[in-house]
Chains A and B, each alone.
Chain A
């Protein structure tokens, strides 16, 4: 057992998989010599060499295209897109090429690749470097979507993503990079499509993802002191979605809150809300409530960004108000 931070866990997970599979390669901007702008790939160049850990030009289409072409011809790949906002620059590659390759070729082409990217706010970077864009990817058939909240999940879900024969977009949260957690020794491999009940409760279910998980847990601690027993679920992977765990919890508690960093419209919580409303409506004791970033571009100033992104306070206050 060792304590790693979330940032170190990324390199740890990649290294675990590169040791296992000598064909696995990685490419991206500033990932080799510089060790990544978020220092998530430190040490990989030294261990695996410049043929397997390769710096690229600032060419997101070329990065995703090269990763896809290699993946479909027998070389599994990890492509880093430095900030998830830049997914917009290569959205064609991800959405029209990578995601659809298998279906539109009648199953002939496999694209075993992982797109890693730094997602989310809290860094005061403003509207073009702070977005939570996991919902952009969730809506595309053919993409798996993963967003871990702890170091051990980073390793296990990254390993599962790399071993998955389908394309996975793996969101690493910028504001979690410094957070620490216990990591067991030895190989760690998790399972995609499994949510985790990270706190048991009986009065309401709070569903969260990535940075919103620790905030939901903090809110649940305070709610417990006030006599409200909240169950907190870390969704972990949006596609595949572990609806069994989500529905089971809602049936038990009768109340659902989603805590989403993405802006309001078409956030992932809307999909979960719709599933719950369609399938366990009669088990609900009150309206489903979505707690999200407002439908605005993210501001840069600390005071405004903190106001925009759901906080533990906002989660707590919303639950108290609506459970009242």
Chain B
């Protein structure tokens, strides 16, 4: 970085040097991952990509109100981890949680209807984009206050420990989370209690509108902090589902066998802005293009072809997913807004909201 550019970059992030992705590590093709698992990860990435594109279109049509935070470009992280855990494991996501919800097998229709604020939404219209939850799928919630859910994931892991199951809890979070206190409290606590919890940092290089390296003491916000808590520094290519899967598999194995927590930093990139309102103009010229070249899905498509999967099978998956996205959209649009009665329900376990007699 020249001094001039460094100085300019202090005031205009778009003038900072571009941070391009690492090249694909083709050796990941040789990882001992069953082909059917790989095809499943491909299907998941297709689902997340096509769903998020549709969600974006629906925002543009003003059918989705409020805000939303898309995972376009980050699908390999959600798919790789989801493929490495069991249906009875717990996951906790941030407000960027559509992908992590769908990856657990939650129906697209209810998720889409929730984004549209309809009565058939996953949360009956009470949560919206930032709070997607499906307890029956082990998806224990999307939490919109940065860092909180890492502490809550600890509790789910503790609960599994107490009940003597070998369930694990996974918490996904962004690079920005590594600078909030709850992150550090959660890590120390998890290590001291040796909890079966896996912390997965999706490092997409930007803390909302600010480059995370501009506001973080170390180059790798999660991996570089891991040794401070006695954890191995795990840095993986978050745009390669196989690399994510392998890291998650090892962490899950460690957690299930009583070995305690892991912290994984997955390098990735969001193709769009932070949220609906953000065009992402703070990113240097060429950076987005370089990452689009490393789009996790076309790369994985090519890899599966090399591994002997027929093009026709992948096309079929794409088409089948496209149909499901269309169906989900229709389902959501056809659903009515929540009735007035829903306003005052479900504050308390008795279904109501009474605070006095």
User: Which A residues have a C-beta under 8 Å from some C-beta of B?
Assistant: 23, 25, 51, 54, 56-57, 59, 61-62, 64-75, 77, 92-93, 96-97, 101-110, 141-142, 164-166, 193, 239-244, 275
Q: How far is the CA of A57 from the CA of B160 in the complex (A)?
A: 21
A142 touches B347 (CB 8 A): yes
User: Which B residues have a C-beta under 8 Å from some C-beta of A?
Assistant: 90, 121-127, 131, 133-135, 140-141, 143, 145, 147-160, 162-163, 169, 181-182, 185-186, 188-189, 192-193, 345-349, 351, 353-357
Of the candidates A62, A67, A108, which one forms a contact with B133 in the assembled complex, judged by CB atoms under 8 Å apart?
Answer: A108
Contact of A71 with B155 at beta-carbon distance under 8 Å, contacts A102-B347, A109-B135 already known: yes
The residues of A that contact B186 with a CB separation of less than 8 Å are: 61-62, 65
* Nearest chain A CB to B179 CB, angstrom units: 14
Q: What would 12 A/B residue contacts be, using CB atoms closer than 8 Å?
A: A25-B162, A66-B158, A69-B154, A75-B162, A75-B163, A96-B145, A105-B131, A166-B349, A241-B357, A243-B357, A244-B357, A275-B356
Contact of A64 with B151 at beta-carbon distance under 8 Å, contacts A59-B185, A97-B145, A141-B353 already known: yes
The residues of B that contact A61 with a CB separation of less than 8 Å are: 147-148, 151, 181-182, 185-186
Of the candidates B131, B133, B188, B354, which one forms a contact with A240 in the assembled complex, judged by CB atoms under 8 Å apart?
Answer: B354
A65 touches B182 (CB 8 A): yes
Contact of A69 with B155 at beta-carbon distance under 8 Å, contacts A51-B162, A57-B192 already known: yes
* Nearest chain A CB to B215 CB, angstrom units: 20
Q: How far is the CA of A242 from the CA of B354 in the complex (A)?
A: 11
Of the candidates B134, B169, B189, B354, which one forms a contact with A108 in the assembled complex, judged by CB atoms under 8 Å apart?
Answer: B134
The residues of B that contact A242 with a CB separation of less than 8 Å are: 356-357
B189 touches A104 (CB 8 A): no
Of the candidates A66, A141, A166, which one forms a contact with B154 in the assembled complex, judged by CB atoms under 8 Å apart?
Answer: A66
The residues of B that contact A193 with a CB separation of less than 8 Å are: 356-357
The residues of B that contact A165 with a CB separation of less than 8 Å are: 348-349
Of the candidates B155, B189, B346, which one forms a contact with A72 in the assembled complex, judged by CB atoms under 8 Å apart?
Answer: B155
**Minimal Cβ-Cβ distance residue in A for B122:** A106
B155 touches A97 (CB 8 A): no
* Nearest chain B CB to A52 CB, angstrom units: 8
B148 touches A106 (CB 8 A): no
Q: How far is the CA of A239 from the CA of B124 in the complex (A)?
A: 26
Of the candidates B140, B162, B192, which one forms a contact with A23 in the assembled complex, judged by CB atoms under 8 Å apart?
Answer: B162
**Minimal Cβ-Cβ distance residue in B for A138:** B355
A65 touches B145 (CB 8 A): no
* Nearest chain B CB to A17 CB, angstrom units: 16
* Nearest chain A CB to B261 CB, angstrom units: 13
* Nearest chain A CB to B65 CB, angstrom units: 16
B140 touches A72 (CB 8 A): yes
B357 touches A69 (CB 8 A): no
Q: How far is the CA of A240 from the CA of B356 in the complex (A)?
A: 5
Q: How far is the CA of A239 from the CA of B58 in the complex (A)?
A: 41
List the 4 closest pairs (A to B, CB-CB), nearest first: A69-B155, A65-B151, A165-B349, A106-B123
**Minimal Cβ-Cβ distance residue in B for A60:** B185
B148 touches A93 (CB 8 A): yes
Q: How far is the CA of A165 from the CA of B349 in the complex (A)?
A: 6
A56 touches B141 (CB 8 A): no
The residues of A that contact B149 with a CB separation of less than 8 Å are: 65, 97
Q: How far is the CA of A242 from the CA of B160 in the complex (A)?
A: 38
**Minimal Cβ-Cβ distance residue in B for A72:** B140
Contact of A73 with B133 at beta-carbon distance under 8 Å, contacts A65-B148, A106-B122, A107-B345 already known: no
Q: How far is the CA of A75 from the CA of B152 in the complex (A)?
A: 13
* Nearest chain B CB to A311 CB, angstrom units: 29
The residues of A that contact B189 with a CB separation of less than 8 Å are: 56-57, 59, 62, 66
B133 touches A70 (CB 8 A): no
Of the candidates B140, B182, B351, B357, which one forms a contact with A73 in the assembled complex, judged by CB atoms under 8 Å apart?
Answer: B140
The residues of B that contact A103 with a CB separation of less than 8 Å are: 126, 346-347
Contact of A106 with B357 at beta-carbon distance under 8 Å, contacts A72-B140, A73-B90, A75-B159 already known: no
B151 touches A69 (CB 8 A): yes
* Nearest chain A CB to B231 CB, angstrom units: 16
* Nearest chain A CB to B194 CB, angstrom units: 12
Contact of A101 with B346 at beta-carbon distance under 8 Å, contacts A25-B162, A240-B355 already known: no
Q: How far is the CA of A275 from the CA of B357 in the complex (A)?
A: 12
